[in-house]
Amino acid sequence: MKTVVQFLVVIGLLTSLSACSNVIYRIDVPQGNFLEQKDINKLRVAMTKEQVKFVLGSPVAENAFDNDTWHYFYSLKGGRGNNFKKQLVVEFKDDKLLDISGDFEKSADFSTPLDI
């Protein structure tokens, strides 16, 4: 009887210790538009909104008061605490691409309009 009680105590302690471990799987949670620099390099000044949407996809947020500014956000909340965020702001004037800003670099060809 004494060995059974000791066995149950050991099992209980091991179970309690296993609950304190880092073995629990935590998923990565991506949100927003995943953009790469190669996508940004395809953008050219004077592109239409439709062309920009074709290259980058629909923006995460469009300004309700300023239809000429689109916001692209991407965040990855890592299960182990490795967080990653990127943003891109696309500005239009007269429905043509005017400028981009954010965490990406403009390509050397950005200021060269596409031939139509």
Quote the Cα angle for 43-44-45, to 5°. 130
The pLDDT assigned to 64 comes to: 80
In the chain the domains, ranked by start, together with CATH numbers, are 26-102 (3.30.1450)
Using a pLDDT cut of 70, give the percent of the chain over it: 93
**Residues 90 and 52: beta-carbon distance below 8 Å:** yes
- What is the chain's mean pLDDT, rounded? 88
Residues 70-97 pLDDT 10s: 999 999 998 878 898 999 999 999 999 9
Write down the pLDDT at residue 37. Answer: 95
State the pLDDT at residue 18: 66
